[in-house]
Amino acid sequence: MRITGATLLVVLLGCATGAIDARTQILRNSKAITDAWLRHDVQTVAKYFDDDFSEVTRSGRKLTKKDILAAVASNDETDTIVSDESVTKYGSIAIETAHIVDKGHKNSGETYTAETRVMNVWRFRRGEWRIIAAQTTFVTPR
């Protein structure tokens, strides 16, 4: 089989497009998760987390998908601002990082703001990007 310059260009453009599509899809998925979280929409959040999901929280606790879904149902957040988003693709795996500022109301009525950095590990399998692992770290005020 002879590979021409045009064939090579199509292959290279296809690879580049795949990377762009992965980034776009992951950022869309993240936005859908954030929006669903604020609405306590467990079903929507569930579809973006792998059954084998594992997270290490900012306090060092290990969470599973079941823990995340329980948190969605009972969270007290009223607003989430996501910035400084980055997605880097490595084949069927992608690393997403972001800066997040959450605002909410505690049961006592007191308002709070929590600033964190997150890293999500996404895996592409069966035509879908799902989070398989995460790490959350508090941002300390300067």
Q: Are 90 and 50 in contact (CB under 8 A)?
A: no
Given this model, what pLDDT does residue 107 score? 84
Residue 86 has pLDDT above 70, yes or no: yes
More confident residue, 49 or 12: 49
* Euclidean distance between CA atoms 136 and 120, whole angstroms: 9
pTM for the model stands at 0.82
More confident residue, 133 or 58: 133
Distance of CA 134 to the CA centre of its chain: 8
Please provide residue 40's backbone torsions phi and psi, each rounded to the nearest 5 degrees. Answer: 60, 35
Give the whole-number percent of the chain exceeding pLDDT 90.
77
CA angle, corner 132, sides to 128 and 134, nearest 5? 130
- Residue among 30, 40, 60 at smallest CA distance from 131: 30
More confident residue, 129 or 141: 129
Residue 2 has pLDDT above 70, yes or no: no
CATH of 5-138, one of 3.10.450.50, 1.20.1050.10, 3.40.50.2300, 3.60.15.10: 3.10.450.50
Residue 123: both structure tokens together: 């895996």
Q: Count Cβ atoms below 10 Å from residue 104 Cβ, excluding itself.
A: 16
Please provide residue 91's backbone torsions phi and psi, each rounded to the nearest 5 degrees. Answer: 70, -120
* Euclidean distance between CA atoms 9 and 13, whole angstroms: 6
Q: Count Cβ atoms below 10 Å from residue 130 Cβ, excluding itself.
A: 19
Tokens 């895996």 belong to which residue? 123
